[in-house]
């Protein structure tokens, strides 16, 4: 088979994501308005990497750089490596904080390699992108939200990982409390037990269903009712209690926020914290007085998901969102 032809340059933007959202371990994800942007193009030979912003030190990683690894794996599936590759990353997503930086790197790499290959989309359809990214990441929740945007529910069936996208109510404001130090997901997954009590699994199943309802249905127009429902819906017994020992500050902050009536959870595998606020103002009125030393940002939900621009000489090209359909 002939190798693929390559187009000239692509730009891919990918959102941060918060996974689990409390009870939805390894299945729920929310895309957030914090982004990494990569530009990639074909060179006559070699590999050149530039990284600015978060993770700037990863530029020296060469072939081991996560975006490059994802690109190489994708090119391999598409039947051919380019002669040389250049990559520039502008990163806003903090690394190792539970905000989906690795999912963002993987998704951007897979989409960039696919877009650089002229018939890439035909060779690697969207469902295959999700499957490849989830295989790289080890679980589908972050990569699904990163690809599709909005609120996602991911699962793995006989035919591989799948996801659906939902639209959270605009009134709900996600706020992230960014932990000052990173913690590896591998470490945070290593403390989880192989077996959990049936009652805990049942409690989480109910809470996950309630959480989807509370985030997407306008049944509780009264603010207190909505926050009370979200507080109940974000309870978790499957991962946060086990992880508390390796992230005591995170567990303490989640506990303080919840005691103050704020629906707060560990963001992904931690150590950052995600809270659902009723408005941007709540950031001042509820949280400023609590003396929380971590950076706090009220964000928007990213409703578009990953987007790709083909940049050809003399033209900036058009943006193609990847989040419009479920793969
Ligand atoms: N669901 C994953 C976990 C998210 O909690 O380990 C990791 O980002």
pLDDT, tens only, 41-64? 999 999 999 999 999 988 889 999
185 in contact with ligand 1, CB cutoff 6 A? yes
Task: Let me know the angle formed at the C-alpha of 95 by 89 and 96, rounded to the nearest 5 degrees.
Answer: 155
Question: What pLDDT is attached to residue 290?
Answer: 78
* Average pLDDT of the residues in 255-269: 96
Tell me: domain 173-298, CATH 3.30.930.10, correct? no
Q: What is the mean pLDDT of the chain?
A: 91
Question: What pLDDT is attached to residue 326?
Answer: 39
**Ligand 1 atom showing the smallest separation from residue 192 Cα:** 6
142 in contact with ligand 1, CB cutoff 6 A? yes
What is the distance in A from the centroid of ligand 1 to the CA of 142? 8
The architecture CATH gives domain 9-165+302-321: 2-Layer Sandwich (3.30)
267 in contact with ligand 1, CB cutoff 6 A? no
Residues 285, 175 contacting (CB under 8 angstroms): no
Give the three-state DSSP class for 55: coil
**Ligand 1 atom showing the smallest separation from residue 102 Cα:** 8
Question: What pLDDT is attached to residue 220?
Answer: 55
The ranges of the chain annotated as CATH 3.30.70.890 are 173-298
In whole angstroms, give the CA distance from residue 264 to residue 14. 24
Question: What pLDDT is attached to residue 64?
Answer: 96
Region of poorest pLDDT, from 84-88, 96-100, 217-221: 217-221
Confidence of residue 69 (pLDDT cuts 50, 70, 90): very high
256 or 281, which is more confident? 256
Of all protein residues, the one whose alpha carbon is nearest to atom 6 of ligand 1 is: 269
Of all protein residues, the one whose alpha carbon is nearest to atom 5 of ligand 1 is: 269
- pLDDT beyond 80 at 250: yes
278 closest CA partner among 231, 213, 212 = 231
Confidence of residue 324 (pLDDT cuts 50, 70, 90): very low
- pLDDT beyond 50 at 325: no
- pLDDT beyond 80 at 312: no
Phi, psi of 58 (to 5 degrees): -80, -5
Question: What pLDDT is attached to residue 123?
Answer: 93
The ranges of the chain annotated as CATH 3.30.230.10 are 9-165+302-321
141 in contact with ligand 1, CB cutoff 6 A? yes
What is the distance in A from the centroid of ligand 1 to the CA of 19? 6
What is the distance in A from the centroid of ligand 1 to the CA of 174? 18
What is the distance in A from the centroid of ligand 1 to the CA of 140? 9
Confidence of residue 306 (pLDDT cuts 50, 70, 90): very high
Of all protein residues, the one whose alpha carbon is nearest to atom 1 of ligand 1 is: 26
Q: Which residues pair with 277 in a beta bridge?
A: 173
What is the distance in A from the centroid of ligand 1 to the CA of 91? 21
Question: What pLDDT is attached to residue 327?
Answer: 39
């Amino acid at each position: 088979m002939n190798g693929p032809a390559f187009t000239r340059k692509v730009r891919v933007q990918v959102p941060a994501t918060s996974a689990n959202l409390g009870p939805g371990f390894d299945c729920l994800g929310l895309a957030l308005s914090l982004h990494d942007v990569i530009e990639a193009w074909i060179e006559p030979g070699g590999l050149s990497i530039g990284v600015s912003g978060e993770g700037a030190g990863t530029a020296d990683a060469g072939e081991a750089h996560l975006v490059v690894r994802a690109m190489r794996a994708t090119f391999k599936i598409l039947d051919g490596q380019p002669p040389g590759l250049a990559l520039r990353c502008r990163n806003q997503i903090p690394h190792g904080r539970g905000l989906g930086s690795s999912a963002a790197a993987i998704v951007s790499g897979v989409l960039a390699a696919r877009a650089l290959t002229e018939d890439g989309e035909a060779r690697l359809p969207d469902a295959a992108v999700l499957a490849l990214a989830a295989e790289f990441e080890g679980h589908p929740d972050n990569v699904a939200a990163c690809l599709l945007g909005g609120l996602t529910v991911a699962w793995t069936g006989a035919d591989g990982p799948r996801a659906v996208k939902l639209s959270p109510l605009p009134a709900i404001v996600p706020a992230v409390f960014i932990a000052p130090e990173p913690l590896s997901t591998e470490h945070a997954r290593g403390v989880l037990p192989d077996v959990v009590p049936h009652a805990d699994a049942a409690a989480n199943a109910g809470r996950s269903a309630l959480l989807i309802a509370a985030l997407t249905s306008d049944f509780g127009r009264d603010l207190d009712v909505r926050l009370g429902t979200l507080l109940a819906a974000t309870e978790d017994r499957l991962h946060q209690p086990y992880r508390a020992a390796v992230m005591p500050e995170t567990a303490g902050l989640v506990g303080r926020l919840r005691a103050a009536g704020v629906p707060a959870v560990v963001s992904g595998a931690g150590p950052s914290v995600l809270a659902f606020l009723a408005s941007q103002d709540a950031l001042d009125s509820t949280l400023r007085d609590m003396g929380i030393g971590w950076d706090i940002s009220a964000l928007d939900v990213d409703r578009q998901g990953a987007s790709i621009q083909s940049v050809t000489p003399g033209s900036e090209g058009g943006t193609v969102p990847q989040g419009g359909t479920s793969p």
